[in-house]
A and B are shown apart, each in its own frame.
Chain A
Amino acid sequence: MDPYQLKKLNAERRARRAAVLVTDLGDGRDRLVCEGDAVAGELGTAIAEAFRTGASGVVEAEGRSFFLNAHLPQPRLVVIGAVHISQALAPMAQVAGYPLEIIDPRTAFATPERFPDVALHAEWPEDALKVHPLDSYTALAALTHDPKIDDFALKAALEAGCFYVGALGSRKTHAKRVERLMAMGVPAERIDTIFSPIGIDIGAASPAEIAVAVLAQVIRAFRSRDTARQPKGQAA
């Protein structure tokens, strides 16, 4: 392996950006392809698939044999609100492979007793997100209903290009939220990407069922995300 490619790969991984290391198994040469880099032909198609699925493997392309090692950042889920739904969502998300963090400044809600074994930040999103920034491999679910807590986080998630942004609330609640986000200067086309009412439609009624619906929506968003575009989180 070329030491320069290894350094570059590790830098991308540290920055939580996806990369595919392509090794020509015939001559041992390798090169790193970063997300958004254009690669033509059969190999390009296979690389795009590796970015989408995160699966590594050997591919035959242009009469040669290549090993594609897909290095995708671990997707994570940030939940705003240490509420009943979050209590059910926390263990489910961990099991599904989406490490979860909860942010809620209300110390009566954000207690270790209610959330054992969860990364819990009893702080305002304004402060917590400074220390734990959002990125394009992060999903954000705003579950408090409280504009004072949810709105800043939603704006931050849309700006960071989170692969999923969802917000709890009825259509009426969401309509008001849209107005507030517009007033905060968030472009309408970004606001349109918020999933609200939150969760896929499975007729969920209990907090735990809503958690299932949210987690399913997060997984679908991750597995169907558009990897051809440059991650939105990378500001020019």
Chain B
Amino acid sequence: MENAAHLDESRDPLLIAEEWMKSGRDVAIATVVETWGSAPRPTGSCLVIDSDGNFQGSVSGGCVEGAVIAEAADVIESGKPRMLEFGVADETAWRVGLSCGGRIRVYVERLG
């Protein structure tokens, strides 16, 4: 039986980030650093993205991943970390669909 006490090698975003880095891919890591209200994923959740837009993990229930992936491309290019904020009061959030009533801040940084 699968034991949840051990890491899931095939789906764990931080293990995947290390694998991608070893194989020479440019990688960004997006992390939920703050949440307010009913956020779908807890603080500390990660999404890893490569320069081709491949991704693993999640920072929301799929609501804002598209926007984060787009920002990650710039972060990989520039190397400068960026803080993103999504919420119902935010027009972008409406557009990308974080309509659950919560707000989240996501920190996007390049690996290396």
Contact = CB atoms under 8 A, between A and B. Distances in A.
Interface size class of B (residues with CB under 8 A): 20 to 34
Interface string B29-64: 101011000000011100000000000000000000
A6 B112 CA distance: 10
Contacts of B110: 1
Given A6-B111, A25-B33, A99 B21 contact: no
Interface in B7-43: 7, 14-15, 17-18, 21, 29, 31, 33-34, 42-43
Contacts of B109: 1, 23, 28
Nearest to A135: B5
B15 A67 contact: no
Given A99-B3, A118-B1, A119-B1, A23 B107 contact: yes
A101 interface: yes
B1 A6 contact: no
Contacts of B6: 16, 74
Contacts, number: 66
Contacts of A23: 107, 109
A-side binding surface: helix, strand, loop or mixed? mixed
Given A25-B83, A56-B44, A70-B44, A99 B17 contact: no
Interface size class of A (residues with CB under 8 A): 20 to 34
Interface stretch (A7-15, A80-88, A189-197, A203-211): A7-15
